[in-house]
Amino acid sequence: MASIIIPSSSSSSSTSSLLRSHNLSNNKQSFHQIASIRSEGVSIRSSIAKFSKNPLISRGSSWNRRSRSGGFRCSAVDSSVLPSALLFDCDGVLVDTEKDGHRVSFNDTFTEKELGVTWDVDLYGELLKIGGGKERMTAYFNETGWPENAPKGEQERKEFIASLHKRKTELFMVLIEKKLLPLRPGVAKLIDQAFAKGIKVAVCSTSNEKAVSAIVSFLLGPERAAKIQIFAGDVVPRKKPDPAIYNLAATTLGVEPSRCVVVEDSGIGLAAAKAAGMTCIVTKSGYTADEDFKNADAVFDCIGDPPEERFDLAFCTNLLQKQYA
């Protein structure tokens, strides 16, 4: 298993101290427990040193030497084991949306509705361990107490959460339409390489379908968007880390899970991809730098564009080749 760990300059605060800072001392159960979060430290190693020692790579293999940018490219790739599909997560993979996109939109919604709630950067990082915005809000309010102006009945609360999420999505889409959040480096390049080889491309996300479609359309452009299938939001009843969304994508696209390569940025996304029987490359994002990705097939800080390219389609193909060797 290839595992390239990119150093991070900061470490996340512990969940317990984070909750204390939010005056949640009256809760019997920390949000850490609600989200089933375990903050296991990720050892920091040089990506170059780690890769050079990897058992997947030998001097006689088809892997080329490290490029000047520190990325890796492959040659002598067997086209018979090209990926059947590249599947991308959205938030944190296509765009680093969480801190300055979704979080801001949630807070603006809470302010509009006069809920007296603000999710700061650290707290939101913990909340991201819960897949789905509606699920995130529900778990938070269940743990910390519902706002005074929230309804009391279970069904009414579901409708209340749905209305909050709808408004949050509207605010988020304004940010996307204004192109205030850029694509992460290398995303368009890798997608174009896949299209050139006839490989199917899809986006599989727990986020609202309208928000994901806006990102794909406005930031990748209409020509690419027309070729990309989107699986998002409530299209499946169980969200990541459940593999349902990746299983649905494989079935709908008519491809074998073992011939899919997934690009994820989070532990729950990685767990979903691996549970579906797929190869998974992690590109760490702002909130996931310290997560444990030991089960990933490769880990980078981004995909990267030349001259700072980290990996390309040939790299993805070679990961699959190792499975069939």
**So which residues are the catalytic ones?**
89, 91
CA atoms within 13 A on the CB side of 33: 7
8 A C-beta contact, residue 315 and residue 189:
no
Tokens of 160: 């209340």
8 A C-beta contact, residue 265 and residue 288:
yes
Nearest Cα to Cα of residue 138 among 154, 149, 119: 154
Residues in the chain: 325
Please, is 291 exposed, middle or buried when counting C-beta atoms within 10 Å of its C-beta (0-12, 13-18, 19+)? buried
Q: Given the structure tokens 């765009």, which residue do they identify?
A: 95
Integer Cα distance of 324 and 155 in angstroms:
50
